[in-house]
Amino acid sequence: QMQLVESGGGVVQPGRSLRLSCAASGFTFISYGMHWVRQAPGKGLEWVALISYDGRNIYYADSVKGRFTISRDNPRDTLYLQMNSLRAEDTAVYYCVRSGGSGSSTNWFDPWGQGILVTVSS
CA dist., res. 71 & res. 102, Å (int) = 18
Contact region with another protein (CB under 8 A), list: 19-27, 45-53, 71-79, 82-90 = 45-53
DSSP, res 84: -
Site for another protein in 61-120 (CB under 8 A): 61-62, 95, 100, 105-115
DSSP code per residue over 25-74? ESS-GGGS-EEEEEE-TTS-EEEEEEE-TTS--EEE-TTTTTTEEEEEEG
Q: Which is nearer to another protein, 75 or 99 (CB)?
A: 99
Please tell me the count of residues contacting another protein according to CB under 8 A.
23
45 binds another protein (CB under 8 A): yes
User: Which residues of the shown chain bind another protein in the complex (CB under 8 A)?
Assistant: 35, 44-47, 50, 59-62, 95, 100, 105-115
